């Protein structure tokens, strides 16, 4: 009995967060600062859970 692959769900654009380019850059910078402060044990934990 063949099964058909499931289709990926779609998300309407109006339900996604609306952020300006400046807000997106600020979020990215915060992420880089946080990543720079991550200790080696945190990096090992993250790598093990990829």
Q: What is the pLDDT of residues 1-50, one digit of tens each?
A: 667 888 888 888 888 889 999 999 999 999 999 888 888 888 888 888 88
**CA distances in angstroms from 38 to 8, 10, 45, listed in the order given:** 33, 34, 11
pTM of the predicted protein model: 0.51
Domain boundaries along the sequence of the chain: 22-48
CB 40 within 8 A of CB 48: no
In whole angstroms, give the CA distance from residue 38 to residue 16: 29
Long-range contacts of 26-29 (CB under 8 A, 24+ apart): none
């Amino acid at each position: 009995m063949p099964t058909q692959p499931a289709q990926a769900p779609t998300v309407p654009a109006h339900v996604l967060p609306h952020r300006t380019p400046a807000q997106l850059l600020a979020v990215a910078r915060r992420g880089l600062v946080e990543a720079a402060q991550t200790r080696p044990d945190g990096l090992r934990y993250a790598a093990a859970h990829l």
